[in-house]
């Protein structure tokens, strides 16, 4: 991927973690991105279409509608409140845009998701050992800066992303990676074609800037309130944590999703995560 487009994609996806109304300002965001990488909007659109088959506006809309779907499905927040939070001028404008994109109204989408959850829970297999009696904690997280690499691919291949991330940094940190590690994901299985995912592997920014590989980006995770659940599990069991946090705890909590990005954090780099259980903390930003 062209590194200029990689930068734009990263900025669009990380706008999700910040102001929603600004994120919905498609034209202003596209203009800012084009200016930053010294391209005209026309050339930016041409490069975007080459790499993604999407225009910049379509890619922003895809991210925006994905966030709306998560908020509708996983919270009890009113449609009017979601519309205003996401930068729409009215609930009617939000309903029109959402129905056009997803082919179903927001209210019917919420009802369909509730039915899906009830049916899934009724036929669910026994819980994964060690993932019973999970506890969700609400806490305030400070702003965090990471060096991160972006991946796309199979949703069941997160462990492979981490193995690759280790190789990416080896030449810059011969004494090994230290500190906290973060996996950021923007997709849940209900809202994207299986088995697609967008995933970032990151490590806390170190004191020596020269150790950042040129292929990596420095990204900022905003300070704020997060809900976290912690368990020891292997990568294939991770969906159980997402289901518990998003489908069971969040709708009953009284909180709403602040962002449609979720953070997995580790005390050690999760190598060979598909073969051995590791302690992972899953967090979502709430308000």
What lies within 8 Å, CB to CB, of 6 at 6+ separation is 150, 217
In angstroms, rounded to a whole number, what is the distance separating the alpha carbons of residues 246 and 243?
5
**Whole-number pLDDT of residue 193:** 47
**CA 190 – CA 256 distance, rounded (Å):** 18
What's the confidence (pLDDT) of residue 180?
87
Q: How far apart are CA 152 and CA 166, in angstroms?
A: 17
Pair of tokens at residue 105 = 């109204």
Class of domain 136-286: alpha beta
Which residues lie across from 181 on neighbouring strands?
203, 266
Give the tens place of pLDDT for each residue, 223-234. 999 999 999 989
The pLDDT value recorded for residue 10 is 81
Report residue 131's pLDDT band, with 50, 70 and 90 as the boundaries: low
pLDDT in tens, 70-120: 889 888 889 999 998 888 889 999 999 999 999 999 999 999 888 877 777
Please write the tens of the pLDDT for every residue from 20-68.
Answer: 555 566 788 888 889 989 999 999 999 888 877 788 888 888 888 888 8
Q: What does the pLDDT read at residue 107?
A: 94
Q: Where are the domains of the chain?
A: 3-120, 136-286
Cβ neighbourhood burial of 239 (10 Å; 0-12, 13-18, 19+): middle
The pTM assigned to this predicted structure is: 0.81
β partners of residue 265 = 182, 281
31: helix, strand or coil: helix
3-120: which CATH number, 1.10.10.60, 1.10.10.10, 1.10.3720.10, 2.60.40.10? 1.10.10.60
């Amino acid at each position: 991927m062209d590194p200029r487009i990689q930068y734009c994609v990263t900025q669009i996806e990380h706008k999700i973690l910040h102001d929603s109304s600004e994120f919905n300002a498609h034209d202003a965001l596209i203009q800012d991105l084009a200016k930053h990488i010294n391209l005209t909007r026309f050339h930016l659109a041409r490069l975007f279409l080459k790499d993604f088959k999407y225009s910049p506006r379509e890619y922003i809309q895809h991210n925006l509608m994905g966030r709306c779907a998560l908020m509708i499905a996983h919270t009890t927040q009113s449609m009017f409140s979601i519309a205003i939070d996401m930068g729409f001028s009215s609930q009617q404008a939000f309903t029109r845009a959402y129905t056009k994109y997803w082919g179903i109204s927001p209210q019917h989408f919420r009802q369909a998701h509730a039915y899906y959850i009830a049916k899934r829970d009724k036929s669910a297999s026994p819980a994964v050992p060690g993932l019973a009696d999970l506890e969700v904690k609400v806490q305030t997280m400070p702003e965090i800066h990471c060096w991160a690499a972006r991946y796309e691919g199979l949703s069941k291949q997160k462990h492979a992303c981490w193995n690759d991330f280790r190789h990416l940094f080896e030449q810059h940190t011969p004494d090994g990676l230290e500190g906290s590690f973060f996996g950021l994901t923007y997709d849940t299985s209900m809202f994207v074609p299986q088995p697609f995912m967008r995933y970032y592997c990151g490590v806390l920014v170190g004191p020596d800037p020269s150790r950042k590989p040129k292929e990596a980006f420095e990204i900022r995770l905003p300070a704020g309130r997060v809900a976290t659940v912690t368990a020891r599990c292997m990568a294939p069991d991770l969906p159980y944590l997402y289901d518990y946090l998003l489908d069971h705890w969040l709708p009953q909590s009284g909180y709403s999703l602040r962002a449609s990005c979720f953070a997995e954090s580790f005390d050690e780099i999760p190598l060979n995560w598909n073969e051995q259980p590791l302690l992972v903390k899953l967090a979502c930003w709430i308000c």
